[in-house]
Every structure is written in structure tokens, then in C-alpha cells.
Chain A
């Protein structure tokens, strides 16, 4: 059996990868969605192409490009940074599209009404559009976060000691090829549960406050 502290570290590592790459995506997704909905057609088309390329190549290929390619040609990256970087870059593309869906769901009449009431550009966005868009984005963003939790297992392929990595090591050394992976699977499900629960309760609360 794996010592508990090793298992604990593996769980922490999985959470660190998931949370960091989600945060990178959530932050970088904002400028990306602004470019994606820009007034200039060229900017829109280029951003859309970028998003399509980021989403069209398997995540593990991005992680490999960062870890084996960029790391040997440009700047040395340790496995954890490469994994977080790769997943973060993909997340920003997915989250930008989720943001866009949220923004589109806010009726244009809302913006017009705010303009008529004398709100400024910034006020319209921060006080009228963003809160309603956030409500719409939340369930999709949470679903994406759960997907990201599972994708964090890809970090094991470049040697980050997270849950899947520990399970593989255990299976190789112990000869029992089933138990470690079943435990790993259950751990991933257990980790995703609070996230799903949080998203559901927050969604219900927001639904009562903001209606779109």
C-alpha cells in the first residue's frame, strides 16, 4: 500500500495542476474573448483561428510540444510548469468560448436600456452585462473545470508525481494492476464531486438573484 503522505502529495499535485491551469485559462480567456468579439473583422478571424487551433490539437500534444520542444529549443521548463502551461493555454481557448456564449446570452436590450439610463461603457459591462453573463457561464465553466481535473492526469506522462503517476508506479512495483487504478479513478471522481456540488448550489443562488 502507498504511504498516506505520498498519496496526499499526489492529490495535492493534481489539485495544483488543475487549479493553476484553470486560473491561467480564466484570466487569459478575458483578453481572448475581447479579441474574438472585436469590432475589426481581421482580429475576429485571427482570434477564431487561434482558438480553433488550440482546441483542435489533443492536450497531450501541447504538453509534449512545451516539454520536449520548447524546453529543448527555447527555455528549459520543468515538468510541472510544462503541464500547467500546456493545459492553461488550452483552457484559455475553451473558457474564451464559454465567456462568449455567456455574453451573447445577455439580450442587447439590456445594453440599450443601460445606455438610455446614462451608464458609461465600463458601467454597462461591470454592472449590467458581466453579472448576467457570469451566471450563464458558470455551469459550463464548472463542467470544463471537471474535464480539466481529468486532463491533469496527462501530466503523469511527463513525470509529474500526481495521482495517475503514483497509481502507475504502484501498479508496476506491486504486480496488482487493478487496485491502484480503481483507487485513482475513485479519487478523481471524489475530487470532482465538491466542484459539481459547488457549481450547482451557486447556480441555484444566482438564478434567484439574476435572471437571464
Chain B
């Protein structure tokens, strides 16, 4: 047992650095992916049929394809078209694309869940379309969307573990490389698991708490 703890203390600095990369990747992908998701949610509702169909195809491809395949598509695919991105860049592109697709569905459903009466009231008050969106639909919709978006963010953080495939030194790839030199796979992967839990568990509790809070005024 003492040996295990000493090992873990030895490995911890490298793994914590890796965790930092994982968190960074998740945050950057959210920062790009969320506005993308909002744009896609609005374009899917566009009156122009062609815009609607193209957006729908993009969203369905992003949601229906495994993230691993998206990641490979960008990491191996773009260079063959002459566009070479660093590993972090490829990971951000793939994860933001996937974030946009998933969150667009969450945002679309939330915007639809805003009571129609609010929109009608805005129209009755003479507020124009943009004003209705800016001051009524958007703030109310986002409030409804937040618990689901938090749930997605936790999922996305877990998904960052896939980028070890394109040799980005995040948590899992560091754990794996320690495992391959020491052959203590179980021990080092368990420690990596614990580090993932340190992020996912508290955020899960926070999401549940927020959901309760947000639900209070709606109930």
C-alpha cells in the first residue's frame, strides 16, 4: 500500500499537468462550440430551405458520428488536403464541431420551451424581432438550457480523453506512457480515473444543484 502511495505521489505532477491540458481543451472547445451551437440552432430554423437543410446535415453528422472518427477525420484528413494543424488545433476543431452539433439541439429545444405568451406579449408591445430575441427569447431560453448544457460540458470533458489518439499530452496519454514504461497500468490508470472524477463528480453535483434551483421558479 505504501508503495502504491509513493508511486502515485511520483506520478502526480505529470498527470496533473495532463489534467490541465484536458481542462484547457474542454474550455476552449466550449468557448468556440457554444456560439457555433447557437448559430446552428438559429440557422436550422431559417426560412431559407437550403440553409436549413445544410445546417441540419452538419448537425446530424456532428451528432451521429463518433467523436473518435471526427478527430481522425480532421487530424489525418485535413493534411491530405494541404492543411496541417498541430495536435491541439485538430483536437479543438473536432471537439468544437461536435460541441456545436450537440448544443445546437439543446439550445433549439430550450428556445422552443420558452412560453409563447412571452413572445406574443413582446409583439403586442411593439418590440421588433431582434429585440424579442435579444431581450426575451435568448435570456429565457439560455436559463432553460443551462442544466443540459452543464451535463454536456461534463460529457465533453470526458471526451477529451480521446485526444491521446493524436498524441496530445493530456491526462490519459500521460497515464498511458507512464504505464508503458513501468508496466503498472492498473495503478496509473486508476490514478488517472481518480483525477477525472475530481472534475466530473463536483461538476455533476453543481449541475444537479443548478437544475433544482432553476426549476424552482418554473415549477
Contacts and interface: CB of A to CB of B under 8 A. Distances in A.
Contacts of B189: 61, 64-65, 68-69
B81 to A, nearest CB: 7
B193 A177 contact: no
A178 B189 CA distance: 32
Interface residues of B, number: 39
A171 B80 CA distance: 10
Interface string A151-163: 1111011000000
Contact of B161 (A58, A150, A153, A185): A58
Interface in B158-185: 158-159, 161-162, 164-165, 172, 176, 179, 183, 185
Interface residues of A, number: 40
A69 B196 contact: no
Interface string B62-101: 0011111110110011111100000000000000000000
Nearest to A71: B185
A168 B185 contact: no
A181 B77 contact: yes
Nearest to B75: A177
A29 B179 CA distance: 32
A150 B66 contact: yes
Nearest to B183: A72
A154 B162 CA distance: 8
Interface of B: prevailing SS:
helix
B68 A153 contact: yes
Interface stretch (B106-114, B126-134, B141-149, B197-205): B197-205
Nearest to A189: B64
Interface stretch (A3-11, A49-57, A130-138, A203-211): A49-57
A150 B65 contact: yes
Contacts of A182: 73
B172 A58 contact: yes
Given A56-B197, A60-B161, A175-B80, A188 B64 contact: yes
A92 interface: no
Nearest to A153: B66
A178 B69 CA distance: 10
Nearest to A157: B165
A189 B66 CA distance: 9
B186 interface: yes
Interface of A: 52-53, 55-62, 64-65, 68-70, 72-73, 150-154, 156-157, 164, 167-168, 171-172, 175-178, 181-182, 184-185, 188-189, 192
Given A57-B197, A64-B172, 6 more contacts: A60-B162, A64-B176, A154-B68, A188-B64, A189-B64, A189-B65
The 5 A-B residue pairs with the shortest CB-CB distance in the complex, in nearest-first order? A69-B186, A185-B65, A177-B76, A189-B64, A68-B185
